[in-house]
Amino acid sequence: MITRKGIIGLSIEDDVTILVHIQRKAGNKFIINEVKQFITPPGAIFDGDIVHKTELIKDLTQIVMLSKLTGVPTVIAISPRQAIIRSVNLPQMPKNDILKSLEWEASRYITLSNTSFTMDYNKLSEKEIDGTTYLELLMIAAKNGVLQKFSSLVKKSGLKIKSIDLEVMAYLYLRKFAYLNNVWSELEKAWTSVAIGNSCTSVSFFQRDVLQFVHTIPIKKNNIINNEEEIIRELQRSLNYYHNQIKKEKTQAIYIWGKDAEKILSRLQGKLEFPIYNLKLSLLNNVFETSESLLKDEIAYALGLSLREVVS
């Protein structure tokens, strides 16, 4: 739910930090009140984790104060590189036993001693094997230390933490919002999101609005622009693994996100067996009643986070 203060989606990447503030208007309309971005201080973020926060907090606090956003509820997200995301099959059992089993599974991958973590899961499917019902579950776990750093950053910058999500979900929220407002098409039965960042590319597989699998490719945006052959090869490997090894329904469409997405799309078009699209944010101009100049490809991640409470 969005209060009168509105809500902020905050994306912090190793090259740029972007803040998007939206507010609800009469008649269930929305307005983008602020879009602010600044260069993330060098060395502040490494591999999706906050390494040095002092300058980052200083820069963000200045934006918050000048824009009079103190105390606004904020949604932030962590990178898949800082989370354990795995499909797990368990025999049907009580919820408490499921949680214990998944905690044991997560502890196999979070190997540091005395490291606590927060875990959640989604039920993907059920199947019968030799008369026993098995649950296919998607487990998502993150170290509490990582979550605390992001939460602390938001609070020390003068904002109010609303929730911490997984960054790949931002694009699902954006698609759902656009569909509900008759701007984009309905979610396909099976679709793939490709989020191109400054330091890596995240490939996320969905069935409608349920996340199924995430693969992070260590390929930077500039590498894709200069040499598309490597990303085509890695994307095809991700698709093959998802379809042939995990044996999920075939993707019907691939969506490219991030700065220069349109330029990258032109290089990838026709190179994979599935259609590839870039959904232009400018199409949301009438929904938000805002300047089209604000709706640029690079704000998709932050804008999607700001819409979490609208579509969830």
Q: What CATH number should be reported for the domain holding residue 220?
A: 3.30.420.40
pLDDT value at position 221? 67
Q: Verify that 194 and 240 share a domain, yes or no.
A: yes
pLDDT value at position 13? 92
pLDDT value at position 107? 80
Q: Verify that 15 and 46 share a domain, yes or no.
A: yes
pLDDT value at position 111? 61
User: Does residue 102 lie in a domain region?
Assistant: yes
User: Does residue 208 lie in a domain region?
Assistant: yes
User: Does residue 2 lie in a domain region?
Assistant: no
Q: Verify that 59 and 189 share a domain, yes or no.
A: no
- What's the domain range around 260? 185-278
User: Does residue 179 lie in a domain region?
Assistant: no
User: Does residue 253 lie in a domain region?
Assistant: yes
pLDDT value at position 214? 95
Q: Verify that 289 and 160 share a domain, yes or no.
A: yes
The total number of structural domains that make up the chain: 3
pLDDT value at position 114? 54
> Mean pLDDT for each 10-residue chunk of the chain (312 residues)?
89 95 84 94 94 96 97 96 90 91 82 72 87 91 93 97 96 95 93 89 95 89 73 92 91 91 85 90 84 83 95 88
Q: Verify that 53 and 95 share a domain, yes or no.
A: no
Q: Verify that 69 and 87 share a domain, yes or no.
A: no
pLDDT value at position 225? 66
pLDDT value at position 112? 52
Q: Verify that 43 and 159 share a domain, yes or no.
A: yes
Against a cut of 0.95, is the pTM above it?
no
Q: Verify that 133 and 154 share a domain, yes or no.
A: no
For every residue of the chain, DSSP letters joined together read ---TT-EEEEEE-SSEEEEEEEEEEGGGEEEEEEEEEEEPPTTSEETTEES--HHHHHHHHHHHHHTT-TT-EEEEEE-GGGSEEEEEEEES--HHHHHHHHHHHHHHH--STT--EEEEEEEEEEEEETTEEEEEEEEEEEEHHHHHHHHHHHHHTT-EEEEEEETTHHHHHHHHHHHHTTSSPPPPSSEEEEEE-SS-EEEEEEETTEEEEEEEE---HHHHHH-HHHHHHHHHHHHHIIIIIS-PPPPSEEEEESTTHHHHHHHHTTSSSS-EE---GGGGHHHHTS-GGG--GGGHHHHHHHTHHHH-
Q: Verify that 93 and 76 share a domain, yes or no.
A: no
Q: Verify that 43 and 163 share a domain, yes or no.
A: yes
Q: Verify that 112 and 219 share a domain, yes or no.
A: no
Q: What CATH number should be reported for the domain holding residue 91?
A: 3.30.1490
Q: Verify that 134 and 244 share a domain, yes or no.
A: no
pLDDT value at position 103? 87
